[in-house]
Amino acid sequence: AAGVIQSPRHLIKEKRETATLKCYPIPRHDTVYWYQQGPGQDPQFLISFYEKMQSDKGSIPDRFSAQQFSDYHSELNMSSLELGDSALYFCASSSPRNTEAFFGQGTRLTVV
């Protein structure tokens, strides 16, 4: 079965650079969630989209923005990167029929 695809899997950026993370949800899933997991931490909710509209917002810095496109894929744009942005970024998707969200394998972002 198709799963949530995230790209890239690994990304190394320098401070003050910009990064774009992509998420391709499971086909027919209309909701996408983004989570940030720092080293040794639990995942923290950043933002979610339902039918291409932002549905909820968590602890997402103003330097970050995200959107969901017409094909339901989503992109997380991160600007003016800081060392503290180094983390594992998960995307998850779900549909109204699902009780759970299905997670991608994550993008490991390292800011140096």
Partner 1 sequence: AQTVTQSQPEMSVQEAETVTLSCTYDTSENNYYLFWYKQPPSRQMILVIRQEAYKQQNATENRFSVNFQKAAKSFSLKISDSQLGDTAMYFCALRGSNYKLTFGKGTLLTVNP
**SS3 category, 83:** helix
Instruction: Give 29 or 78: the residue with its C-beta nearer to partner 1.
Output: 29
Half-sphere exposure of 13 (CA within 13 A, CB side): 24
Instruction: Give 65 or 80: the residue with its C-beta nearer to partner 1.
Output: 65
Q: Is 83 left (phi over 0), alpha (psi -120 to 50) or beta?
A: alpha
Instruction: Give 16 or 38: the residue with its C-beta nearer to partner 1.
Output: 38
> Which amino acid makes up residue 103?
F
- Chain positions contacting partner 1, by CB under 8 A: 31, 33, 35, 37, 41-45, 48, 50, 55-56, 58, 88, 90, 92, 94, 99-103, 105-106, 108
Structure tokens at 53: 């509209």
Instruction: Give 79 or 95: the residue with its C-beta nearer to partner 1.
Output: 95
CB of 56 to partner 1, least distance (A): 5
Q: Is 40 left (phi over 0), alpha (psi -120 to 50) or beta?
A: left
CB of 28 to partner 1, least distance (A): 16
